[in-house]
Amino acid sequence: QKEVEQNSGPLSVPEGAIASLNCTYSDRGSQSFFWYRQYSGKSPELIMFIYSNGDKEDGRFTAQLNKASQYVSLLIRDSQPSDSATYLCAVSQGGSEKLVFGKGTKLTVNP
């Protein structure tokens, strides 16, 4: 059974702080790693994807991947109240393969 684990939170940070979200996965064959944001009652919205070990930055977001440790993380710098949502980690074997999701971490950014 391929599993993706996330700390369900809730994670609460003050506005302007760095939020750190973590994810581990069990399938060593995983090739593609995604972070989605989901507001309550809405669909997952892609934030970032990462394929290679190391860091990938996009604006206020940085994804980090360590395949040896089977660990993915997402850092959100200068957190804003609008970042308050559930963040979903999703993993696939790449290409047209299915996504396996974690349960998500609920983030609250306090003004």
Partner 1 sequence: EPEVTQTPSHQVTQMGQEVILRCVPISNHLYFYWYRQILGQKVEFLVSFYNNEISEKSEIFDDQFSVERPDGSNFTLKIRSTKLEDSAMYFCASNGLAGGTSTDTQYFGPGTRLTVL
Sites of contact with partner 1 (CB under 8 A): 32, 34, 36, 42-46, 49, 88, 90, 92, 94-104
Closest CB to partner 1 among residues 22, 32 = 32
Cα Rg for the chain, rounded, in angstroms? 13
Cis amide prior to 81 (ω within 30 degrees): no
* Token representation of residue 99: 């996504």
Strand, helix or coil at 60? coil
CB of 49 to partner 1, least distance (A): 6
CB of 30 to partner 1, least distance (A): 12
CB of 71 to partner 1, least distance (A): 19
Strand, helix or coil at 12? strand
Closest CB to partner 1 among residues 79, 107 = 107
